[in-house]
A and B are shown apart, each in its own frame.
Chain A
């Protein structure tokens, strides 16, 4: 049974479609594996045992009734707990939403279900997706399967850890400034942050609306590509989702890279952990050896990304999180009057990091600071976008490390928010530019911790990410399986 859980997404879908194994069997195996391994990891906030078994039974009946071909038939998928699931608790790892049950499915969840996927449970995260270590979860952090004293990264730490240890065939996370890529790097899984507008945000509980994107995390590029193909595409309910055809991402697997121009930024990894520097150099070498031309490009405004991000994202967050006020749903702590009820509910409902960001965001939008901070940040954001536009005139994809270090120890950076924020310096700029990026496992540090290579492409060129990522995966021969896998 456990063998079943270690199969890839594409293998499982084929086996279930060809009825070599039933969806129920696959689901039972996944539930069993979660029961066996997750107590140590705490990737799941909720395992929807009954819902998953019912969905699997229904799928089996459908498959028995006729010739049905579904891209994710019977594939157990874990969902980050900031994505709404109809009738299943959705908390954003926050006390303020404890016990909240959405009346509708997020668009991506609808898509997964329609593709035959079995939603196995809800995955842990930093509260409201704010954080880089998963330590901001109100329900306790996730532990990194590679070293349980370390962080899985964040905010999609549960999604990365679960994918890494095969506690689901693959998972969905959300990425605002690196929240699928950085944990992907820390846990040794492939994590795609699609172009802003490629995937509908409908039903994703907003952190920063102009940055948030849902993305897949999987143990190989082909699996991630298949999930992306399922969730991508226009949804009228999200005005920012874009109406463009969704290419066959999987078809990019196995294609040659010969002739591609690959951009690198000189000195980008200076100041990173030595293992990160080394892994990047080796990755560039391997990709060059596949017949690519390595081109040096410049991203002069990248150094402002952190400041810009924490102004824009927090401004939006301060407004997005205003609705959690104890009036309609979630935690209510009654005070002597309306104002006191607001204050008490929010004071007790939100954790420290969420409060910090709401306060920062409120500040940058206030009269007198709006122009100097928010508007200026938006202008610099445009400059960052232009940097990429210029760089992509000279190259087809761009390589950087995903994170400056391998996974750090739990508790290590809790006292120093700036040090924590620095974990995102490579993932923030593509987010601000709205372009797609993937983190692909690219080796282990001397301590045996996974490292990630970030590949960026121009908007809506996810196909290039799949092509380069999969070719690199094939040539590196690296199978990122955590101890005890």
Chain B
């Protein structure tokens, strides 16, 4: 749709860092525990307690910064954001304000075949608030669960570089994927470990100055992001086209009403009275620390896909499927490693076979949960199964049923094949003996075959396989029967 207006979007993402403990104390970050069971004097803000910075959170934020091409600042400062709310135990949030930890990065996205580079303004560390449960119990009060209080978050702020809801959605998907692959965030929108706010404005095409922006909240699914932004853009265009003006405000997405609703105006904007937190030292990060994190930075999904195509003989579409989750990619790579040595040709052949199996069979059974994945089987055992197929010991069809038994019994492919007598008989003498017997018993059909009714061959093959309880190598059975039928004519 051609429009006289250009959409301008900037996104703020809050991503929970995958640390075992909270940002300023040793309490567990486990999700779903009994309310207020992961709390201590620090995250409850009890008098006299002091914050102690979690080094792992700093490391993970640094990892994200490097993956997104940010510079890690040598000295950053924790600041207090002061406001009163019961989900904030100290009535201030420890965040970073004037001097954030990481600045100036970028993320490439592709929408409708067009690649764009979206600027990242900053990535800073901050603590999460507790969770308010409104209307709990009799409905007249609010309960607060402080388990989440103090959970480490990084806030990733983009430049206002996005030009459509589709781009915004794509940016979020790519960002989520990167964070998931480098192991800093589980990308779980439902549990709120990856949350997004959007700043949306419009301006007449060709105008350089930005229009008045509206902040959208409560858009915690990719679908909501798209719908909310599309609604908001349409609302703003209609407003301006009708001679009105956009007011600077915060609006919330109502899924029930499928529209954005006013939440608070600029006049209500709070004065957070930010100032450096005197309880924490400046965060000083030297080059060697940055280098150490860079050295162990996991491979990014984009690189993985290119590498799979170049080295493992798969198509771009295969690569996309195989990198849908870091654990799937990890499984696939381990499987290829177990099957092939370093020889590039071998890796390409096995890479494709492994990819086929993973896509056709394994992915039908995998259970993905945040950053975790449950396959029910190890790559080494799948490698064993695929080798049985390759050697001709079992057929590809049999492999499927063996795989399913592997999942249900936990036994190895070799054990199952032996137990079920599935091993294909490639012993020509045994096959020939069986074939002769079948032919001897079915002289009528032998005559028919010789009379030119060659399609009875299938009947003979079936009979031989049955006689051998399915263990005959189908190709050998076929060849042997044809040879015998020719011989005896």
- The interface of chain A, by Cβ under 8 A from chain B, is 83-84, 90, 92, 97, 100, 102-104, 106, 201-206, 208-210, 236-240, 315-316, 318-319, 322-325, 327-329, 338, 342, 362, 365-367, 370, 374
Chain A residue with minimal CB distance to B272?
A: A367
B41 in contact with A239 (CB, 8 Å): no
B52 in contact with A236 (CB, 8 Å): yes
The A contact surface, by secondary structure, is: loop
CB distance from A160 to the nearest CB of B (A): 22
CA gap between A204 and B279 in the complex, in Å: 12
Contact with A along B82-105 (1 / 0, CB 8 A): 101010011110000000000000
Chain B residue with minimal CB distance to A241?
A: B50
CB distance from B24 to the nearest CB of A (A): 9
User: B427 near A: Cβ within 8 Å?
Assistant: no
A240 in contact with B46 (CB, 8 Å): no
A97 in contact with B92 (CB, 8 Å): no
Q: List B10-39 residues whose CB lies under 8 Å from chain A.
A: none
Q: A237-B50, A239-B51, A329-B46 are in contact. List 13 more A-B contacts (CB 8 A).
A: A100-B47, A102-B48, A103-B41, A202-B48, A203-B49, A204-B48, A205-B48, A208-B278, A315-B275, A319-B80, A327-B144, A342-B84, A370-B275
CB distance from B130 to the nearest CB of A (A): 10
Chain B residue with minimal CB distance to A92?
A: B47
Number of interface residues of B (CB under 8 A): 28
The B contact surface, by secondary structure, is: loop
A362 in contact with B273 (CB, 8 Å): yes
- The interface of chain B, by Cβ under 8 A from chain A, is 41, 44-53, 80, 82, 84, 86, 89-92, 144, 271, 273-275, 278-281
CA gap between A362 and B80 in the complex, in Å: 13
* 21 cross-chain CB contacts under 8 A: A84-B48, A102-B47, A103-B41, A203-B48, A206-B279, A237-B52, A239-B50, A239-B51, A239-B280, A240-B278, A240-B281, A319-B82, A322-B84, A323-B45, A324-B47, A325-B86, A325-B91, A327-B86, A365-B275, A366-B271, A370-B273
Question: Which of B48, B274, B279 counts the most chain A CB atoms within 10 A?
Answer: B48
B275 in contact with A90 (CB, 8 Å): no
CA gap between A342 and B50 in the complex, in Å: 23
CA gap between A240 and B279 in the complex, in Å: 7
Chain A residues, CB < 8 A from B273: 318-319, 362, 365-367, 370
* Of A90, A102, A323, the contact of B89 (CB 8 Å cutoff): A323
Question: Which of B46, B92, B281 counts the most chain A CB atoms within 10 A?
Answer: B46
Chain A residues, CB < 8 A from B274: 365
* Of B41, B51, B278, the contact of A316 (CB 8 Å cutoff): B278
Q: Which 3 A-B pairs have the closest CB atoms?
A: A322-B91, A365-B273, A209-B278
Chain A residues, CB < 8 A from B144: 327
CA gap between A204 and B48 in the complex, in Å: 5
CB distance from B413 to the nearest CB of A (A): 52
Chain A residues, CB < 8 A from B92: 319, 322
CB distance from A301 to the nearest CB of B (A): 21
CB distance from A426 to the nearest CB of B (A): 23
CB distance from B47 to the nearest CB of A (A): 4
CB distance from B125 to the nearest CB of A (A): 14
Residues A202 and B271 in contact in the complex (CB < 8 Å), given A323-B91, A327-B86: no
Chain B residues, CB < 8 A from A103: 41, 46
CB distance from B221 to the nearest CB of A (A): 29
CA gap between A84 and B50 in the complex, in Å: 13
Residues A238 and B50 in contact in the complex (CB < 8 Å), given A342-B84, A362-B273, A366-B273: yes
CA gap between A338 and B80 in the complex, in Å: 22
